[in-house]
């Protein structure tokens, strides 16, 4: 093949390869800067990913909502759940719909299973990445202070999430209401 054509093709391919990560950065920076803040109650543990490092796996409490009347949703279907904050800023799920809601904040989710008119769903974020030495400590802290099943604590564990146009990006993870990194620093200083 002609060197110039080959060179041109290579530059085009390299541009696409770079455009994929750059557009990801752009999109998520935009959500973090201009998205609405919500808190999601969580239950973290800490697994490991060879490519991305240590993370705290997040499970969210009460991820279910009623399906909008007159609609039906299959399992493993893409759906949208409407959101509104309660008095303390915690996210309250409204209803599940198959189409993008016209007003208000919402998240794009995947339905899992459900009975009657209610459906369970999976939120589009479930990993919080941390320094490899801190992630296990964050898990220990959770075990001590986290939300126990059925129990209510005054200072719960939650993820701070920015939401915009159906996408959510985790900004921080809070244990007993304090950002996890600060929490770990204080805990280390107190020892």
Partner 1 sequence: MSKHIQWLYEELPGLVSRGVMPAEVAERLRQHYGAPGTPAGAAKRWAIILFSILGAALIGGGIILLLAHNWEELSRPVRAVISVAPLAVAAAIGAWLLWTGRTSTAWREGVGTFQTIAIGVAISLIAQTYNLGGRFDEFMLTWSLLALPVAYLLGATLPAILYLVGITVWTGAVGHDAGQRLWYFPLLGLALPFLWWTSRGNRYHPRPVLFAWVLAITMSIATGIALEQVLGRLEVWPVFFGGLFGLLFLVGARWWGDATAAWQRPLQNVGALGAVGLSLVLSFGDAWSPGRWHWEQIQTWRTVVELAAVAVFPVAAIALWVRSWTRRAWSEVMVGAVPALAVVGWTLGVQSKLLGAGLFNLYLFALGIGTLVIGLRERRLGTVNAGMAVLAAVILCRFFDSDLGFVVRGVAFIVIGIGFLATNLILLKWKGAAK
Question: Which of the ranges 7-15, 78-86, 93-101, 143-151 carries the binding residues for partner 1, by CB under 8 A?
Answer: 7-15
Among 40, 106, 121, 128, binds partner 1 (CB under 8 A): 128
Cβ pair 113, 31 in contact under 8 A: no
Question: How far apart are the C-alpha atoms of 105 and 170, rounded to whole Å?
Answer: 16
Contact 67, 117 (CB under 8 A): yes
Listed in sequence order, the residues at least 6 apart from 95 whose beta carbon sits closer than 8 Å to its beta carbon are 65, 66, 67, 68, 81, 82
CB nearer to partner 1: pick between 68 and 134: 134
In this chain, which of 67, 83, 170, 174 binds partner 1, going by CB under 8 A? 170
Binding mask 45-64 for partner 1 (x = CB under 8 A): ----xxxxxxx---------
Q: Considering only residues 85, 101, 114, 124, which one is a binding residue for partner 1 as defined by CB under 8 A?
A: 124
Q: CA 122 to CA 117: how far, in whole Å?
A: 17
Helix (H) or strand (E) holding 140, with range, is helix 135-145
Point out which residues bind partner 1 (CB under 8 A).
Answer: 3, 6-7, 9-11, 13-14, 16-18, 20-22, 24-25, 28-29, 32, 49-55, 76, 124-132, 134, 169-170, 181
């Amino acid at each position: 093949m002609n060197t110039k054509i080959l060179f041109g093709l290579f530059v085009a391919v390299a541009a696409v390869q770079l455009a994929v990560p750059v557009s990801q950065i752009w999109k998520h920076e935009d959500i973090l800067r201009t998205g609405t803040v919500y808190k999601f109650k969580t239950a973290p543990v800490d697994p490991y990913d060879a490519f991305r490092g240590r993370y705290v796996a997040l499970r969210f409490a009460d991820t279910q909502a009623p399906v909008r009347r007159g609609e039906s949703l299959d399992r493993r279907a893409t759906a949208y759940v409407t959101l509104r904050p309660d008095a303390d800023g915690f996210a309250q799920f409204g209803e599940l719909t198959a189409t993008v809601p016209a007003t208000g904040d919402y998240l794009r989710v995947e339905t899992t299973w459900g009975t009657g008119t209610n459906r369970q769903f999976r939120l589009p974020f479930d990993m919080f990445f941390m320094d490899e030495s801190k992630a296990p400590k964050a898990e220990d802290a959770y075990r001590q202070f986290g939300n126990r099943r059925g129990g209510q604590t005054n200072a719960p564990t939650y993820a701070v999430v920015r939401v915009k146009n159906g996408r959510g990006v985790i900004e921080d993870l809070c244990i007993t209401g304090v950002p996890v990194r600060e929490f770990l620093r204080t805990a280390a200083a107190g020892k």
